[in-house]
Structure 1
Amino acid sequence: MEPLRQWQIGFKDVGSADIEPEGKQQHRLEIFNVVDQGSSYWLHAEVRHDFTAETVIEALVHAMQRWGVPQQITLDRDPRFVGSPQGSDFCSALLRFGSCLNIDMYVCDPQHPEQNAYVERFHRTLKQECLQVERPSTAGQTQQALTTFETFYNHERPHQGRALLDRPPAEQLRETSPLPALPTAVDPLAWLHHEPQQVFRRRVDAAGRIKLDLKRYYVGKAWRGQLITVHLNAAEATLVLLGEGQILKVLPVPAWSKSALPFAEYVQQIQEQARAEHRLRSLQERRQRVRALSSS
């Protein structure tokens, strides 16, 4: 495969670092890594105590500002990548972001880390040859260790991969054509073109509303307590509400704009969606802890 076109992303804990408290929560220090599948080149790394879906999007933007937009990104099922386990009917903010940039977002199957093998292999190397040697205890120390190791890993260290044959990854990039730059504007509904034709069943609540993808839609009090069907028409970006064989309403899929947004504005809006997903996941986790305590 041609270098730079396919990326793999993932998190690596910094086991020697202090855990940073925030209220009742404790945050591990993590490194978000981007590795090129075609050359094993370590493209990007960011160190934070507070990685969320929102800050992952920010980190990916930084990587693309440096390298351009890849054709594919492979990722595991970390909730910060794929969203909340319950409550969201469509793909996560990160997956929408990638789709709107026309990136093939490949989500690994459950319990199959070999599908993200390049970043997994890199994480073993990073742990054995950098983190366990330097044993950083702060974000600053970790970043300093990574900066030094990046030069060695990419430009000096012989790589065992079949495509490299004991050469450093940088040698694979010498004659590689650059990736397309980030767009100046983004269609916020472009992700729908990658969605299948979905059908949902919803029961109308006492206020005459249904809930779909973290939002509520008014159907009518005459339908209270009844099941209705919602069809996603991706081609027209609409939700078709059906009850007893008749069309009740045709609603637009919620979007911040029906036309393309400047890239920076689009990123702000998709990060807002990511924050909503993070709040939902935090609420679900709190409820699970409460249930576990009450049943013990």
Structure 2
Amino acid sequence: MRRRHLLTVLGLAALILSAGCAGLLGGQSISDEQLDEEPPSPYTWDNSVDAHITITENARFQAVYRLDSDSIELFRRDGFGGRNAISVSAVRYRYPNGTVITGTELVARGGTVDRSRERVLVSLPDDAAGDGRLAVTSSSTPKRFSLPTFVNGSYAVVLPPNRRIEVFPFGKVTPSGYEVESAGDQRIIRWDNVEADAISVQFYLQRDLYIFGAAAAVLTVVGIGGVAYYRRRIEALRKQREELGLDVETDDEFDDEPPPGMG
């Protein structure tokens, strides 16, 4: 009886473990609603770079990649050298002739959008030709964008309105070799050729500098006031000790006399 009970428990544990492994290692479907969701703003199809990334104000980004292969893997690297799949929505593919299809149409034409724990694999439709472009929308983090370089070549990153990168350490861009241009109230960071494994842009609002400057000024005033207060307290204590006779210096009459028994 005990043996049968033990076998039942082991079988249940194996079933749970296998189900968990399947969830971790197997593909996960992305809903049709996510695939066909409207992007926050129209994708910038007509651009001269291999990767065009627009960061929006709600901590999201829109990326348009020119593909030179029939698939692309989308992921972020963790702090241990591994990969984690990124969230993907508003998937679009544009053929070289300008025809744009949605994510579900891409799948219906023989393509795939499969998500695992480590990456999102997008395979192009069977009728896709060279020089097509894939566009996706995903999540970012406030005031900092970082993503692996999924395609080789030139890159452009468009910051949200009124964001800046000029003042270090609030603004920082890697890799080096970039140029910055203005387009109205927006900054566009461009690389002619990115050879690094990832790009990273840290940016700020102009008002952030004012807030930091005001906070630094307040801390400076508080620090100066604190030093002045403690100096006054030390001076008051010194005078109090003098009044009590604790700091009265006595003349040593025998400083010039030799020790007893040695004169």
On whether the aligned pair clears a TM of 0.5, the verdict is no
Q: Which bracket does the TM-score occupy, shorter chain normalised? A: under 0.3
* TM-score after normalising by structure 2: 0.23
Higher radius of gyration, 1 or 2:
2
| Larger strand percent | 2
